[in-house]
Amino acid sequence: MPDNVRQFLRTKLDLEEEECFERPGLLNLHDLFEIAAALADRPELNNNPFIPRNAVPLKKPSLIFQTIRKQDILLHHPYDSFQTVIDLLDYASRDPKTLAIKQTLYRTGGDNPLTNSLIQAAENGKQVTVLMELKARFDEERNIVRAREMEQHGVHVVYGLVGLKIHGKMLQIIRREDDGVKGYCHLSTGNYNPNTSRMYTDLAIITADTKINNDVTNLFHAL
């Protein structure tokens, strides 16, 4: 550890020299958050801020489904912004053409804009079904609270399956369009959590592909 960083941390954390011990590697990765917070007001000791790319820079949100129908959208978080997923569900919740929304939720985090959009969709008369995994490590209590809140607003919540943990991340939006009923789905390796999407490396795809949407529909029916 550089001497200037060591001295700064000693001062910031009010530690004596004999209270500081060095070892190879990290004792606890979570400690990095404490160090990052301690360095928050020292920009010279931080990396330059990183701004993720907006994969679908839309001036008109109404064009988002038209964009997806033209081509699949591959997202690589955290380099691509998770805002694309937030905007997709937010617009679908208010879109008059949206008939139904189905989603699996594993780790929701705190005040999550996605769950707020699901509630908004239900209040707007959409058929909203959520499979909430209550065995999500560290988020069990929070998931129960959010599930009950969604139920109070008309969301149909399914509480997982006995003996199984649903770890898949799926979102499907069903719309009635001029040429028939169409499906759009988002499949991801990462949780629907805006906070962790800025830290974890994950891949996701948003697609209107008929075969993929049929598979997602059948899987939701099975669940």
Give the CB-side neighbour count of residue 163, counting CA atoms within 13 A.
0
Smallest CA-to-CA distance from 73 within 51, 58, 94 is with 58
Q: What is the 3-state secondary structure (H, E, C) of the chain?
A: CCHHHHHHHHHHCCCCHHHCCCCCCCCCCCHHHHHHHHCCCCHHHCCCCCCCECCCCCCCHHHHHHHHHHCCEEEEECCECCHHHHHHHHHHHHCCCEEEEEEEECCCCCCCHHHHHHHHHHHCCCEEEEEECCCCCCCHHHHHHHHHHHHHCCCEEECCECCECCCCEEEEEEEEECCEEEEEEEEECCCCCCCHHHCCCEEEEEECCHHHHHHHHHHHHHC
Q: Which residues are catalytic?
A: 167
